[in-house]
Amino acid sequence: MLQFIGTINPPPAIQKWIDISPFGSQKVPGLLYFVNALLKLVITLAGLFAFLNIIIAGYQFMSAGGDPKKISEATSKIWQSLMGLLLVAGSFVLAVIFGWLLFGDATAILMPKIYGP
C-alpha cells in the first residue's frame, strides 16, 4: 500500500504515556487519552468539592444555635451538594444507557474506540 505522507512515531517521552494506557493493549491516540484523563480529573474534583461542601454545611448546621435562617441556609447547601453529586453520577448512568441503546456497547461513550489505518 502506497502511503503519501508516511507514518509518524511518537517520541520516546510520549510513548510511555501510551504504553500505560488504561485501555489495555489497545493503543490510544494522544488527544483521546488527554480528554479521558481531563474528564476523570474534573469528575474527581466535582466529587471532592461536593464532599467538602457537605462537611462545611454540616458544621454550619450544628453551629446554627437554633437560628431558623442559618438552619435553612445549611439545609439548602446540603441539598444542593447532594443534587450536584446526583448530577455527576447520573451523567455516567445516562452515558452508559445511551451507549448501550445507540451503539450496543455500554462503554461506547465512556471509552470510545477510534479505528484508523
pLDDT at 2: 59
Asked if pLDDT for residue 25 goes beyond 60, the answer is no
pLDDT at 59: 94
**Does the pTM of the predicted model rise above 0.75?**
no
pLDDT at 81: 92
* Cβ atoms of 58 and 74 closer than 8 Å: yes
Asked if pLDDT for residue 30 goes beyond 70, the answer is no
| Alpha-carbon gap, residue 111 to 117, rounded angstroms | 20
User: Cell digits for 48?
Assistant: 471532592
pLDDT band at 89 (very low <50, low <70, confident <90, very high): confident
Asked if pLDDT for residue 107 goes beyond 60, the answer is yes
Instruction: Among 31-35, 67-71, 107-111, name the most confident range.
Output: 67-71
